Amino acid sequence: MLVEVSKKLTKSVRNIDLVARWGGDELMVLLPNTSIQNAQVLAEKIRFLIDNSMDKMSVKLSVSTGVSEYNIDESTSRFISRADNALYVTKVEGRNRVAVAN
């Protein structure tokens, strides 16, 4: 399933974007030169795409997403941590959601 989701993600983003596996069942998408609002819109589109396409395969799969915007004055680990914290919020609130980090 991870491979199928990865393929769908890769097809859903621009050539300059990066899709990478991050941990066990987590994937990360880096969107250079993208506002937090546009990243949130894309995350919702991807969530909807995965939710609907996997139904056709008789598999129920949800996508929980944490979105954060890189701030020039923060470390990479802090940037990723903020996205991970937002992801945790989606899981607590019932999964299959998008949350934006502060």
Q: Is 25 a catalytic residue?
A: yes
**Is the model's pLDDT at 51 over the cut of 70?**
yes
Pick the CATH number of 2-100 from 3.30.70.270, 1.10.1240.10, 3.40.50.970, 3.90.45.10: 3.30.70.270
SS (H, E, C) the chain: CHHHHHHHHHHHCCCCCEEEECCCCCEEEECCCCCHHHHHHHHHHHHHHHHHHHHCCCCCCCCCEEECCCCCCCCHHHHHHHHHHHHHHHHHCCCCCEEECC
Q: Per the residue annotation, which of 17, 25, 55, 73 is the catalytic one? A: 25
What's the pTM value of the predicted model, to 2 decimals? Answer: 0.87
**Amino acid 25: pLDDT:** 84
**Is the model's pLDDT at 79 over the cut of 90?**
yes
When pLDDT is averaged across residues 7-30 and rounded to a whole number, the result is: 92
